Structure 1
Amino acid sequence: MSTQTSSVRTSRPPFGLLLDVDGPIASPVSRTVAVKSIARDLAAMANRGVPVIFNTGRSDAFIAEQVVPPLRAAGLEEGTPVFTISEKGAVWAEITREGLGEIFVDDSLSLPQTLREDVRSLVTERFSDLMFFDETKRAMVSVEQNVDVENADYLAVQGEFDDAVAELLRRHGLAHIRIDPTIISTDIEHVRVGKDLGAERSLKLLGERSVTPQSWYTMGDSRTDYAMADWLHQQGHTVSHVDVRPADGVPETPYPVLVSETEAIHDDAGAEFLTRWASQLG
């Protein structure tokens, strides 16, 4: 346990953070935590007892490789309430000073191995110049834009790929699986997964530690990310949602939706809000 005296942790922190990763935290271009203040501010808030939970479609391997090292370098202390809820609620783990703790998988949300193999073959045979098969996913199946490919080129063929996957789902008779495209990827997933399931798992993990935030900030870059704020609001929690890519349109919600006052987007917008919240703790 760290002996730093600046850390004042409480079971009733003023707020908790439920954060999408791609966009608000990791750059959708480099796929890394590129804005240096992000890890600094997240670690500072976690060290004061603010729950920091990554509610993401990303795999636990991505979090371990791209998110955890900057947090450790920024001084994340032991015993902080930091978790990853990966693959939209299907996989979860505690984030510690040493890295990821035990990894848990809800096997009831895992997709058939035969479908995984068919999607991998589809990518290899027809789309490998634009996208790659994500081998790190444990429950869902995902493909992602190659880093050296222009996003416009990827998006131009994403629909063709998604249609081919839909045909695979029909062939396998998998009506309980859906296709969820993003600006840099396509997720093929069980219909029960989602940012709302991630939010539910997050509160269970905090409940096991008797940590109850007085309010919540959620953050994302797509309309599906609103589901975590929707769920928190429906459960009676005070929540505000940050949309770091409001160009898609901000829907009407029963809770506040915040956007960058400087018109920043993605991780630049995420960094603005994290710095503001960290400064509120004094």
Structure 2
Amino acid sequence: MTDASPVLGLLLDVDGPIASPITRSIQVPSIARDLVELANGGVPIAFNTGRSDAFIRAEVLPQLIAGGLSGDARVWAICEKGAVVARITPAGFGEIDVDGSLALPPEYGEAIRDLVSTSYDDLVFFDETKRAMVSVEQRMDVSAEEFAARREAFDSDAAAQLTAHGLGYEWGDDTVLDASGATPFRIDPTIISTDIESVRLGKDLGASKFLALLEADGAGMPQSWRTLGDSRTDYAMADWLHGEGHDVVHVDVRPADGVPETPYPVRHHSTLIHDDAGALYLAAWVRMLRGEATDDQAVR
């Protein structure tokens, strides 16, 4: 690796484009191999995810190490939508930095743990690995249809617990103020989970933290960026980068949610979704790194 600016930088959501939303693990063999080649070739990579650092350590890190991740690679896990940051090395995780100002009160987490155990343990499990967010996740033995049908009932109960604890929040079209007139938290449902989190968290926060890490690292800033996600909230990565004047293209691996109008290019495959599409784009970026293509032309 050199100090020259890398041709590319990657900000990657994990659930969907990297890990299968069905098995919740990396299933496509080429994904880890291509991630390692990109990282070892000088491309800085951040897994910008709502997942916990424990999930990345269990499901992503071993495959990168097994694939031969270099000690020079610049790879970070930016977890819980920006609340938790750690560098990924061949030796494992570096020091884990947790922004405690973004965490929910512990007693609220206890209330949601109790809510799951008494009313929803046949639908979801409480994610014990989160450090700042409070999350529940669809059980593996529950169908997507059943989860979708009952998620709103859980979200309503989670909102009631926020009110009971005097916490302001946003949920869909609802806004509830706390005693100070603020709404510091939000309820964010996904296709396999519900996250209750600070309104300051988001994929844009993760993007800003990643660039700060790269600047502190002292190596060159990428000439161009690719962001990869499977939900509308993932567009915030590209929104932030574009707003800061960076050249960026976003890839949406689940465009069925709708592709918004953006001031930057958005790409998606005509038939492939989730990690199958993610694998295709990673392979295209490997070809860019090798100089075999000037852009991800094969998957426009």
Interval containing the TM-score (normalised by the shorter chain): over 0.9
1:213 equivalenced with 2:222 (yes/no): yes
Alignment match, 1:202? 210
CA deviation map 1:193-235 (0-9, x unaligned)? 0000000000000111123000100010000000010000000
Are 1:24 and 1:244, in contact at CA under 8 Å, matched by a contact in 2?
A: yes
CA-CA distance at 1:9 after TM superposition: 4.2
CA-CA distance at 1:11 after TM superposition: 3.9
CA deviation map 1:60-85 (0-9, x unaligned)? 00000000011111111112110010
Measure the CA separation in 1 of the matches of 2:2 and 2:127.
37
Are 1:9 and 1:48, in contact at CA under 8 Å, matched by a contact in 2?
A: no
Q: How many residue pairs end up in the alignment?
A: 274
Residue identity (%): 60
CA-CA distance at 1:10 after TM superposition: 4.2
| Counterpart selection for 2:99 from 103, 106, 109 | 106
CA deviation map 1:11-49 (0-9, x unaligned)? 400010000000000000000011110000000000011
Give matches, 1:82-231, under 5 Å: 82-175=75-168, 176-210=184-218, 211-231=220-240
Alignment match, 2:261? 252
1:47 equivalenced with 2:47 (yes/no): no
| Counterpart selection for 1:62 from 27, 36, 55 | 55
Are 1:53 and 1:83, in contact at CA under 8 Å, matched by a contact in 2?
A: yes
Measure the CA separation in 2 of the matches of 1:26 and 1:10.
31
Secondary structure (helix, strand or coil) at the match of 2:131 reads coil
Measure the CA separation in 2 of the matches of 1:9 and 1:252.
37
Secondary structure (helix, strand or coil) at the match of 2:279 reads helix
Measure the CA separation in 1 of the matches of 2:144 and 2:49.
21
Alignment match, 2:171? none
Are 1:39 and 1:71, in contact at CA under 8 Å, matched by a contact in 2?
A: yes
Measure the CA separation in 2 of the matches of 1:248 and 1:218.
17
Measure the CA separation in 2 of the matches of 1:188 and 1:276.
35
**Structure 1 unaligned residues grouped into runs of 5+:** 1-7
| Counterpart selection for 1:19 from 12, 16, 29 | 12
- Matching residue's letter, 1:234: G
Q: Which moved more, 1:167-176 or 1:18-27?
A: 167-176
CA deviation map 1:242-279 (0-9, x unaligned)? 00000011000000001014x10000000000001001
| Counterpart selection for 1:236 from 223, 230, 245 | 245
Q: TM-score, normalized by length of structure 1?
A: 0.96
- Matching residue's letter, 1:272: L
Measure the CA separation in 1 of the matches of 2:120 and 2:284.
42
Measure the CA separation in 1 of the matches of 2:72 and 2:51.
24
Are 1:10 and 1:49, in contact at CA under 8 Å, matched by a contact in 2?
A: no
- Matching residue's letter, 1:121: D
Measure the CA separation in 1 of the matches of 2:288 and 2:262.
25
- Matching residue's letter, 1:173: G
Please, what is the CA RMSD of the aligned residues? 0.8
**Structure 2 unaligned residues grouped into runs of 5+:** 169-183, 291-300
- Matching residue's letter, 2:250: H
Alignment match, 2:24? 31
Alignment match, 1:279? 287
